[in-house]
Structure 1
Amino acid sequence: MDSEAAFDNYVMFRLDKDSPSGRGGGVILYIHESLSAVACHEINNSNDFNSSVWCLIELERNEKLLVGPCYRSPNSTDQNNRKLLEQLEQSAKVVNATHLLLICDYNFSEINWKQGKIESGGDTDEAQKFFDTTQDIYLVQHVIKPTRNRGTQKSSMLDLVFSRDEHMVNQIENLAPLGSSDHDGLFWEYETKSNFKEVDNETKSYNYPKGDYVKIKSHFKNVNWEEEFKDKTCNEAWNIFKEEYETTIQEHVPLKKKKSKKPPWLKSGVKRSIRKKYNMYQRYRKTQQYKDYEAYRKQSNITKKKVRRAQVDYEKKIMRDFKKKPKAFYSYVRGNRKLRQGSPNWRMTRVILQRLTKKRLMF
């Protein structure tokens, strides 16, 4: 469901990809609500390339920025490769799109972007076609450092950022990978003038204990859910219920200021370990020495264990203190049951309750 991947204050654009392995896949793009963004149906609905999603962001003077995150699998078929090239050409022809920002992992390690040539190895024919197409539509590639680094393997530049103007994108920074990934994170600035919408930056939440539940109950009782959900898909039915729920809550539950929260188990020792992991990765990026890569991987594993141990230890603690501090227990479970927006994460809830109830709670 869309609601399971949503974040507060961001508009989400996504495309899920069917995978034979059952592991899913696809692309997702988040645009802050202060920017006016809409889906670009001109591309999304007219091309069958299997992993991309496009949107248009309003700029000043009636200009628009076309943004598209895309992914091409190394096992991409000839037909999908052809669709990719067609989509690139189509992106250059979108009506009213005065600017373009393309973020992609096309898995063309054969392309040497610094020298503008195709090197031996891999699928050089498809790489040449892709490179020629980017030149034909006047795209500028901005990433200059390898984005995939793994031990003694040759580093490669797979993750790319394109625009139409070499001065629009600057200060691209390679960040440490997320989780177990061997691809760098990328951070950059895109210089343009946007029509920002006024957004209330003060984070607030609903004060549920002071809600008028008599009126809420009466409202939901009078809704003909059977008629509302008739002939609807699961996602459509959820969106109908969500809209009805949010409207009712807005009417009958007051707001209160919300304090930003970090995970209760995220203590200083864990944060130091995370910072050390990032610093060791930056050292490896500079030296490209295998010993520094091994040190980074070792620290990455240590950090994972510390995070898991800190979480488990905290859960054991709130379980031991349940009779004295039951609120801490229920608050932790609720915080993990619900995502920032949307439906309950029942799988996570089940895992937490299994952890917390391995030992019998004595009442």
Structure 2
Amino acid sequence: MFEKNIKSDEGRGLLMYVDSNLEATEITMKTEFQENLFIKVKLNQNDKLLVGLIYRTPSNSSKEYNDKLVNLMSEATDMGYSHILIMGDFNYPEINWETWNTKGDRPNSTENKFLEALQDNFLYQHTTKPTRWRGADTPHTLDLLITNEEEMISNLEYMSPLGKSDHCVLSFDFNCYVNIKRAPKIANLYNHGNYKEFIQELNKIDWHNKLNAENSIDKNWNYFLTILKELESRFVPTKTMTQIGKKRNVFPIDKKTRELIRRKNILSKKNYN
């Protein structure tokens, strides 16, 4: 997990979760844009991925603030990464991402300057449908997915908001090659345990004295647990398990809840279709 401004009152705060099997490191950008979080991820051979998370507040329309964002985008592309993924709430409601232009003739607007920065750095922006809506408000595309190659994003889905948020959840696949080194999982084969000797060892222990009534419950429990684990390691064989394929339904959600989530996503999509 990587975070920025979560424990402070500065800005909105950024949070990024990364699979523990990936080799990821946080990096500090030179451009002093208030809310940005960048990490690098090692890919196959000499390839490396730069992942950025950005929040641009709509309450600051100063030229200096927006110039820093433009400079940050340029800095990211100049760092020599083979793969770039920059995400976040950029709050540019006036940009039409299907045509890559803005309303009216304002070449010096912050929106046009941002579009020019993406084009000058040969970056692609993948979200084209509204990502934020509330009540009778006009839906807007505020949350962006920016890469340095057009084919890096696939299977993009606009899902229902999380909790009471008015921003949709973006689900997508990022296409790259990476060797994921998963730690082997050791499974206990309880059905092959030698429980005859297990019980014999348990019977040798003077439980009356070991689990003394004068001891705290925690102390007695920890002693019992230590003995149990030690005997388990001696009399229950283990096997190294290798995960094949991708797990489905990792979280213990029942069928009814999954159906409600599916229904919520369907109803949510009607807001912008």
Report if TM-score (shorter chain) is over 0.5.
yes
1:15 aligns with 2:23: no
Q: Closer, same or farther in 2 for the Cα pair 1:276/1:89, shift >3 Å?
A: same
* Aligned positions of 1:1-363 closer than 5 A: 12-16=1-5, 22=9, 25-41=12-28, 43=29, 46-78=30-62, 79-95=64-80, 97-120=81-104, 125-201=109-185, 210-211=225-226, 272=256, 275-276=259-260, 278-286=262-270, 288=272
Query: Structure 1 residues 156, 123: closer, same or farther in 2, change over 3 A?
Result: farther
Query: How large is the Cα RMSD of the aligned pairs?
Result: 3.5
**Cα distance in 2 between the residues matched to 1:189 and 1:76:** 32
Return the TM-score normalized by structure 2: 0.70
> Moved runs in structure 1, 4+ residues, more than 6 A?
121-124
Structure ranking higher in helix proportion = 1
Secondary structure in 2 aligned to 1:167? helix
Partner SS, residue 151 of structure 2:
coil
Judge which range, 149-158 or 60-69, deviates more.
149-158
Q: Deviations over 1:142-175 (max 9, x none)?
A: 1122111222221111111011111111110011
Q: Please report how far the alpha carbon of residue 108 of structure 1 lies from its aligned counterpart in structure 2 after TM superposition.
A: 0.2
Q: What secondary structure sits across from 2:113 in the alignment?
A: helix
Match of 1:141, as an amino acid? Answer: Q
Which residue is equivalent to 2:242? Answer: none
Shift of 1:272: 3.4
Kindly indicate whether the alpha-carbon contact (under 8 Å) linking 1:114 and 1:144 is maintained by their aligned counterparts in 2. yes
Distance 1:89 1:172 in 2: 25
Alpha carbons 1:110, 1:124 under 8 Å: kept: no
CA contact (8 A) 2:93 2:141 kept: yes
Aligned position for 1:230: none
CA distance in 2, matches of 1:180, 1:192: 33
Q: Between 64-73 and 147-156, report the one with greater CA deviation.
A: 147-156
SS for the counterpart of 1:195 is: coil
- Offset at residue 283 of structure 1 (A): 2.6
- Aligned partner of residue 183 in structure 1, secondary structure: coil
CA shift, 1:30, in A, is 1.4
C-alpha displacement of 1:83:
1.4
Structure with greater Cα Rg: 2
Equivalent position amino acid for 1:144 in 2: T
Q: Distance in 2 between matches of 1:152 and 1:201?
A: 51
1:294-335 per-position Cα deviation (integer Å, ceiling 9, x unaligned): xxxxxxxxxxxxxxxxxxxxxxxxxxxxxxxxxxxxxxxxxx
Q: 1:26 to 1:155 in 2, by over 3 A?
A: same
Question: Over residues 276-298 of structure 1, what are the superposed CA-to-partner deviations in whole Å (9 max), with x where a residue is unaligned?
Answer: 36514423423659xxxxxxxxx
Structure 1 residue 124 displacement after superposition: 7.7
Name the SS of the counterpart of 2:112 in structure 1. helix
Considering fraction of residues, name the structure with more strand: 2
Give the CA deviation at 1:203: 9.1
Identity of matched residues, %: 28
| Aligned counterpart, 1:311 | none
Question: Is the 8 Å Cα contact of residues 160 and 268 (structure 2) preserved in structure 1?
Answer: no
Note the residue ranges of structure 2 that are not aligned, 5 or more in a row: 189-220, 228-232, 239-249
* TM superposition shift of 1:123: 12
- The verdict on how the C-alpha distance between 1:170 and 1:274 changes in structure 2, with shifts beyond 3 A counting, is closer
For the residues of structure 2 that align with 1:81 and 1:197, how far apart are their CA atoms? 40
Query: Residue 183 of structure 2: SS of its match in structure 1?
Result: coil
Counterpart-to-counterpart distance in 1, 2:78 and 2:66: 19
Letter in 1 for 2:171: F
Taking the aligned partners of 1:74 and 1:122, their CA distance within structure 2 comes to: 18
